[in-house]
Amino acid sequence: RRSGQGFQVNDCGQEVLQLGHRIQAAIETSSQKLQALQTGKAGSIGVGVVSTGKYFAPQILAAFMREYPDIDLRVTIGNRAEITQALDSHAVDLAIMGRPPQNISAGHDYLGEHPFGIIAAGSHPLRHLQTVPAAKLLAETFLMREPGSGTRALAGRYLDQYGAGRGYASITMNANESIKQAVMAGMGIAMISLHTVIHELEQERLVCLKMPGLPLVRRWILVHPTEQPLSGAAEIFRSFLLSKRAAFLPG
């Protein structure tokens, strides 16, 4: 519309002008999101964590989310068999675990040491022995993780070797937290990741029994299938974790 002061935009023109601004902003936002996707700074990643790792993995994931807020994380927590299945079915892109799976093609990166020991209640009568004899050890009730757990397999191998194949009583539980509470209550003893009982050992609610070959030191690793390349977002997560691994592992 023309006036004495020149051209003025009428109401219809104002609507068109505002729409143009919104379209331009949407284009710029879409361009930024597309660039983020292309560089791996946006997208979605599936991360698997064996249940023992849940005592430190949340700190890793939270730090990553703060640094890369446009990357969505899908987290799966389970025992070794469950996480291996998740990798095999591509339900997760990477996994924090103790040993590489044997039945799938996968690469892995070393994250740090992972110690295991046999724990007992802080008042347990075996706590003062410099070495617990096999006969006394096997007379105890062992609290074991469920079948499919890497911790259960490790405990079974150690007890079979130290006890020369002799039998022992056991109770199965499907969570480290349940095992910790049961040991503190005096239900039995257990082989467990020492990363899961740091505070209880410091507070002397639990003790590590002195045994030959203990602690058993295993590894934490980051596993990724090699059938296809990692996405940009997954590669960024991998680089982030490898650059900061020492800051997150207990001990």
The DSSP-derived string for 38-91 is HHTSSEEEEEEEEGGGGGTHHHHHHHHHHH-TTEEEEEEEE-HHHHHHHHHTTS
**CA separation, residue 121 to residues 46, 105, 168, 187, 217 (Å):** 38, 41, 19, 9, 22
218 touches 114 (CB < 8 A): yes
pLDDT category, 36, cuts 50, 70, 90? Answer: very low
Which residue carries 């890369």 as its tokens? 68
Closest CA to 171 of 187, 148, 158, 191: 187
| 65-109: pLDDT as tens digits | 999 999 999 999 999 999 999 999 999 999 999 999 988 999 999
pLDDT category, 26, cuts 50, 70, 90? Answer: low
pLDDT category, 32, cuts 50, 70, 90? Answer: very low
Angle at CA of residue 86, ends 85 and 88, nearest 5°: 60
- CB count within 10 Å of CB 165 equals 7
Checking if the pLDDT of 198 tops 80, the result is yes
Mean pLDDT across 175-180? 96
Mean pLDDT across 164-176? 93
Name the residue with higher pLDDT: 249 or 43.
Answer: 43
**What sign does the dihedral 238-243-247-249 (CA atoms) show?**
positive
Using only C-alpha atoms, what is the Rg of the chain? 27
Q: Which amino acid, residue 221?
A: I
pLDDT category, 40, cuts 50, 70, 90? Answer: very low
Mean pLDDT across 217-243? 94
CATH-assigned architecture of domain 115-217? 3-Layer(aba) Sandwich (3.40)
Domains 41-113+218-248 and 115-217 share a fold: yes
Mean pLDDT across 3-32? 59
Checking if the pLDDT of 184 tops 80, the result is yes
Q: How many residues does the chain have?
A: 251
Checking if the pLDDT of 28 tops 60, the result is no
Given this model, what pLDDT does residue 195 score? Answer: 94
Given this model, what pLDDT does residue 164 score? Answer: 84
CATH-assigned architecture of domain 41-113+218-248? 3-Layer(aba) Sandwich (3.40)
Given this model, what pLDDT does residue 10 score? Answer: 64
Per domain, the residue ranges of the chain are 8-34, 41-113+218-248, 115-217
Per DSSP, helices labelled H in the chain are 11-39, 57-67, 80-88, 134-138, 150-162, 176-184, 198-202, 232-248
pLDDT category, 126, cuts 50, 70, 90? Answer: very high
